[in-house]
Structure 1
């Protein structure tokens, strides 16, 4: 569905450079699927006041990453996303899906910087993470 290795990953592997990435334990539904953004109730998932990193993508004929960001309150961030016309415009492309990982504040910007560089989302997050040192993690669709 999505590429799991970039050309840089392959080049690094061939050059003997480690591509070890941290598994941030992206959250799924109890059935093992990812959440549809339009059906998600952040409060029902106990996300009020919980911080972490979230990733949004759309399915469909040409799936693509839409948004990556850090948030100190994931529930509030998800409500803002649901009200964002730029992001919600991708719902028509096969549905918007979302996941998150509960990460400590000192790691969030680094994880966002890495994912933005690697996934190249359609809608860019706050530029604060751009100055962070990237922290390599698995994307939601990478095999664990």
Structure 2
């Protein structure tokens, strides 16, 4: 058999197609390449995005917004001192980007202006804190990325 340009081009195409097919099959069958959406209801959350922006604007309009600090007992979320604690309701959601099994939420129930998230529930590393709360019928949202 004589090797010419036409044979070389056909062999190059066959090699390239084989190379691409190898990666397609590998990415679809190997479990270490599985990547889920960030959250299960991603598209639903996307539709509520403007609502979240409005809630964040409400929080930024306060004299003092929510803050947090790290203590020996865990993370303390500090609510504004000017607000009455009995009128504050909502949830605190802690999201672990590296592993969704560690995600959890806490219902806000305050006796003073601080909410403690215990150290035993938190692993070292990056966390996203989302505080979705209401005060006298007005909704607020606080988001923060922290390293614990």
Would you call these one fold, judging by a TM-score over 0.5? Answer: no
Which has the higher relative contact order, 1 or 2, with Cα contacts under 8 A spaced 6 or more apart?
1
More strand by share: 2
TM-score w.r.t. the length of structure 2 is 0.35
TM-score for both structures, normalised by structure 1: 0.36
Answer 1 or 2: which has greater helix percent.
2
